[in-house]
Structure 1
Amino acid sequence: MLKELIRAFLLIFAAEMGDKTQIIAMTFATQYKVKEVILGVILGVVLNHGIAILLGRFISTVVPMNLIQMIAGIMFVIFGIMALKDEELDETNNKKAFSPIITVAIAFFVGELGDKTQLTAMTLSTEASYPIFILIGTTLGMVATSGFGIFIGSKIGEKIPEVAIKVTSSIVFIFFGSLKLLNTIPKDYINILNIVLYLLIISIIEVSLMKKLINNRKKKEKSPMVEAASKLYNQTQALKETLDSVCLGEGKCGKCIGSHCLIGYTRFILKEAREYGNYYSDTYINMDSLIKKEYDNNKVLEALSIIIVDSINNGWNTDESFVVNKVRNSLEVIIFGQIISSKSNINLYFEEAKLLNKKYAVLLEKKVYTKLHK
């Protein structure tokens, strides 16, 4: 009983070291969690070897092993092509067509059809007194050899980009699938023309899928930037509308001096940001050199409160080259006579503001907390 288990384990372990299944396990481990790959291996092998042990030699008399190997080769090529399929971000619950465990199980089940390990399990079962221990031994042997590949794959997968993993996975499956087909397709069909035609078709499919995969990945990488830009655009639009109302206009102000005016300068950099995407600027402006006028301080406080609330909600950085921070500085100069340095902590910010002008600091604080609790 135990002897049969150990014998089955050692035979499979020796046969599978460095074999395709170990490499496939390594490939899967770069994509899925270790636990999922191991469970998939166990499920696939138990089903495959279980069938072999239950049927014994009967399966070889019903279905030619050559045909089984050919079907397995075709399935491997299909798996290789499907490995380049890109899952969209908006899939329901972000689920794939098959769970990782089922995907691995199917691959191992198909990969072992007619393979030496299945034949070994089948042969051992015909002379075993306890076939169940043959199944346990062969399964443990497969898990042990696959474990090496899974360990290596899980470590490699942490350092390789997802696109590279998918491409490698695709190539591995297609390579072993093609080898199976080469060894099982009747020799009459194996000639230079057919091989070139096969490689050409596979290459066209692979290249087209790779291009699509890479393009989709580029779009997905840009999406956070697009979202951030959209937020910035909306933020600057809200500020623009508020600052437009702050501007005194030529009726009260006389001839417009444009960006030489503090509000004029502020509106100018917002316009540049919104129209050209220039959300960061290293240009230094001496605030003291800009002309200050009798602005409506309540409107200035409203604009400043919008910036502070957005800063709290969206976590904008404190980079002084960030256009919104430049606007913030301008508004602080109008209200408090200078730029407030404590920007990273809202409580310290208001404490510093109150030292400069308690009345406006209290009004600003009220506006900010009212907006935050809406």
Structure 2
Amino acid sequence: MPQPRFYSLDVFRGATVCLMILVNNPGSWSHIYDPLEHAPWHGLTPTDLVFPFFLFAVGNAMAFVMPRLQAQGDAIFWKKVMKRTLLIFLIGLFLNWWPFFRWSEGELVFRQWVNPENPDSGVRIMGVLQRIAICYFFAAILVYYIKPARVFVVSMILLLAYWVICMYGNPADPYSLAGWFGTQWDIAVLGKAHIYKGEGVPFDPEGLASTLPAVVQVVFGYLVGYYIQQKSKQVQAAASGNSQLYPMITGLFVMSVALLVTGFCWDTVFPINKKIWTSSYTIYTTGLAIMTIATMIYLIEVKGIKGGLARFFDVFGKNALFVFALSAFLPKGLALIKLPDGTNPWNWLYKKVLVHIPGAPENGSLVYALCVITFMWAICYVLDKKRIYIKV
């Protein structure tokens, strides 16, 4: 029996990628509406949902691929997982180093691995794609070798272990920027030169320690995908219509509420925090992801609402990793080209046109981000029409 396919899951993945591009490409980082910014530290904004939703989608897709890998055996599994992990990680590292040159006193200077003039500055090793690669690798191993019921228990143990390590890593102030234990791990393993410094101090929001609970986010995505797969097979075997998906959707909503309540309660002792990817954050955002998917399944699969918005997001989902990488590649590369008016080909539209939109300065910045989304969508649309799907 062929595996049932859910269009809503493709739309969910595409919408997540679309939002990732939106929040990463404002006209000006100084002019962003609050919902499109990350929470300063503890707490949650809509932007803080984007990355965990994408990791959840990675696990979700894994549920539909894993049976084939298990049937092919260990050798094929390790070959494919290792290859995909290395490719995604190296693409992320490439984008961190790209475009290999920078402007300095009117000249292009090669960006060395470590800046000889400042040994604490260099090419960042970790990043979004690197975390996706690592999470995919370890989650794939867990779900390949451990049955779903047991992998859930293992996942909860990992989340509890991360909480304990955080608490005892620095008992005096475990959940602060200065007191979080993971930074010392990153400095020791990666080196201070290769750590993100956007917080004003060496601190990497995609560091090594906080990747542990992020792995669980992928596993939860897998478990939900597995649940959807098994329930939909039952409907398919009974030759029932999509209206018989109600029990599955109800189950998803019950899961989501249970996780939301658990995450909210855990937040009182282990604050929801994206930057150190707390266990409460993993639980809470997983609950929101499940609720979102359940709603999409109801609207798209049961009610048959497959309008323009669904098709718009689906196009992004067809080449998800490619378009995300492209949205980082183009701005960095085009920023090297200096136009006579002091702009570059990437920011010219904002600097010369959109910045003059009446009202709050955030308006022009948001319109620019929407223009970037439209441009990236057009590329994905052409690729989809030509049936070109760039898989990693």
TM-score by length of 2: 0.22
Q: Which has the larger radius of gyration?
A: 1
Q: Which has the higher contact order (CA 8 A, sep 6+)?
A: 2
